[in-house]
Amino acid sequence: MSIGTHFSYAVTVFLMVAGLFIVIARGNLIKKLVGLAIFQTSVYLLYIVPGKLIGGTAPILDDRFKLYSNPLPHVLILTAIVVGVATLALGLALAVRIREAYDTIEEDDILARDVDDCGADRQGK
C-alpha cells in the first residue's frame, strides 16, 4: 500500500467519526442531516479508494494491458449517491413539516412538547 492509500483511509475515518459525532451530539435536525451526509460520504470513499489502482486501466482485454481497475465500486457508489440525495431530500422535507407542526427543529424542544401534550391528554380524560 502506498502513502496515498493510507491518507485516503485516514480521511475516510476522520469523516466517519466527524459525521457520527455530529449526529449524536447535536439536537438540531438539520445538523443531524448534515452529519448523516458527511458519514455517508465517508462510506463512499471507503468503497471507491480500493477500486482504483494506480496505473490500472479500464477492464478491456488487450495484450498491452496487465493491470485493470475494477469499475464495480464506482457504479455502486453512483447508485448510492442518488439514493443518498433522495434520502436527504426526504429528511429535509420531514424537517420542514416538523418545523411547521412544532415551531422548532430542536430535538429537545420537540420531545418536551410531546411529553407535555401526552400529560395534558391524560389529565383531560
pLDDT digits (tens, 9 = 90+) for 78-119: 999 999 999 999 999 999 999 999 999 999 999 998 888 776
Stretch 114-125: mean pLDDT? 69
pLDDT digits (tens, 9 = 90+) for 10-21: 999 999 999 999
Domain that holds residue 87: 3-124
How many domains in the chain? 1
What CATH number should be reported for the domain holding residue 17?
1.10.287.3510
pLDDT digits (tens, 9 = 90+) for 17-48: 999 999 999 989 999 999 999 999 999 998 88
Q: Which of 34, 24, 22, 28 is nearest to 106 (CA)?
A: 28
**DSSP strand E in the chain: where?**
none
Contacts of 73 (CB under 8 A, 6+ apart): 47, 48, 50, 51
Stated pTM of the model: 0.78
